[in-house]
Amino acid sequence: MAVSSVAFIEPSPHDFLIGLVGVACLAAGVKIERPIALMFLLLLIWNVGGLMALLNVPGKELTIQYTATSIYLFLAAVIFACLFSRNTMSRLTTMRSAYIASAVFTALLGIAGYFHAFPHAYDLFTQNDRAMGTFKDPNVYAPYLIWPALFIMSRMVLNRIRLLDIILLGILLVGLLLSFSRAAWMLFVFATVVSFAIFIVTAPTPRARFRIVSLCLVGLFALLALIAVLLSLHSVMQMFEIRAHAIQDYDVGQGGRFRLQELAVAALLKFPNGMGPFEFSRIHGLQQHNVYLQGFLVYGWIGGMAYILTVLSTLWVGFRSVFTPTPWQPYLVTAFAAFTGNVLEGAVIDTDHWRHFFLLMGIVWGLYVATNRYRRDIRIRAAVAG
């Protein structure tokens, strides 16, 4: 997790290390719990569809690499789910610390690049006047920062406010804002509202509920003050005015995003086995920027349906678990909220190769299993005590 933000090369160090984690899981006898088997099966069908679609584009190196990445992410999600279903808190703590460190690291580089903090920083860590840190694209970099920001906020509201958390959160939020990713901004707002709505509903006492509401209001004013300070800088204000429009030039017109999505719907009806990776963009010049259309275009009808069922089942098991008070509830609530936001963002961008998306999926499934076990243990103890 500490190198998960290093995404400007493929395969990345994170990819190799996840392979080592998988080997370690096999050596340690880590088991796939029965509920996780459903996720495993759906993701397996998704990838089988992708392999079948490769028959349309035989012998192309990039298409093989694309399919291999899908298989790797499928296995990574299953590995995370299995890991977090047992020894839950110790493994979550390790993941959290490393993820936050990695996110702060890439946010600092994105900020440094945006403000030309050192020679070549701008060229390395920004794209089109937008911070992107150690990612290839600001639109992937920005969503990566959201779960650690959510978790730090939840820790401040539910436990205590520490100076270190204020500093870390400030870095992440500045890095997020300087990405100028409209979808990521909306994702952050949505995930924050979902997270703290659940925390308010599940608060154990009226006093705890009042504390959450009060600190949320204080945090909102602090966030608005931070935005106001950043917007006082001319370069930030200028870029914000450009990006704040809901519809951009590349969204409309003959070659715009929405037109491409219309063409994608027509294409998926013609290719039940899928077109294969990159074929739609080769024919039409650009991607359709919709992960659900991507699921059908690249993985065929079977793979596309399996992907949608994977997403829906993850939302369902997450929703069934987030309201149960457990030691890991803040992890589950924030992961569920961030995952849900990513699901919505998938309507305007392709998220099927986002590493943090599959991490969040693994967290939700792993903690669903752990929560079910926790509930069962409570019932058993109550029955014994009775």
For position 104, what pLDDT does the model report?
Answer: 97
- Indicate the pLDDT class of residue 255, thresholds 50, 70 and 90: low
For position 231, what pLDDT does the model report?
Answer: 86
Please say if the pLDDT value at position 70 is more than 70.
Answer: yes
Give me the mean pLDDT over the 297-307 stretch.
91
In degrees, rounded to 5, the angle at the alpha carbon of residue 77 between the alpha carbons of residues 73 and 80 is 135
Q: List, in sequence order, every beta strand (DSSP E) within 179-223.
A: none
* From 10-19, 138-147, 272-281, the region with the lowest mean pLDDT: 272-281
Give me the mean pLDDT over the 143-160 stretch.
95
More confident: 92 or 56: 92
Long-range contacts formed by 314-317: CB under 8 A, 24+ apart: 314/39, 314/339, 314/361, 314/364, 314/365, 315/339, 315/340, 315/343, 317/35, 317/364, 317/365, 317/368
* DSSP 8-state symbol, 168: H
- Indicate the pLDDT class of residue 79, thresholds 50, 70 and 90: very high
Calpha distance 34→41 (Å, rounded): 11
Mean pLDDT of the chain: 89
Give me the mean pLDDT over the 152-162 stretch.
93
**SS3 of residue 136 by DSSP:** coil
Per-residue pLDDT of 182-197, as tens digits, reads 889 999 999 999 999 9
Give me the mean pLDDT over the 242-253 stretch.
58
Residue 161: phi and psi, rounded to 5, are -95, 120
Per-residue pLDDT of 57-66, as tens digits, reads 766 767 888 8
Quick one: what percent of the chain has pLDDT higher than 70?
Answer: 94
Please say if the pLDDT value at position 15 is more than 90.
Answer: no
Give me the mean pLDDT over the 237-252 stretch.
66
**Radius of gyration for the alpha carbons in the chain, expressed in angstroms and rounded:** 21
Which residue from 136, 351, 348 is spatially nearest to 250, judged by alpha carbons?
A: 348
Token digits of residue 359: 């991490």
- Indicate the pLDDT class of residue 179, thresholds 50, 70 and 90: very high
* DSSP H or E segment with residue 127: strand 126-127
Per-residue pLDDT of 40-51, as tens digits, reads 999 999 999 988
Calpha distance 257→236 (Å, rounded): 26
Give me the mean pLDDT over the 6-18 stretch.
86
Please say if the pLDDT value at position 86 is more than 90.
Answer: yes
More confident: 230 or 287: 230
Give me the mean pLDDT over the 301-305 stretch.
92
Residues 6+ apart with CB under 8 A from 49: 274, 299, 300, 301, 302, 303, 304, 306
Which residue from 320, 370, 307, 312 is spatially nearest to 340, judged by alpha carbons?
A: 312
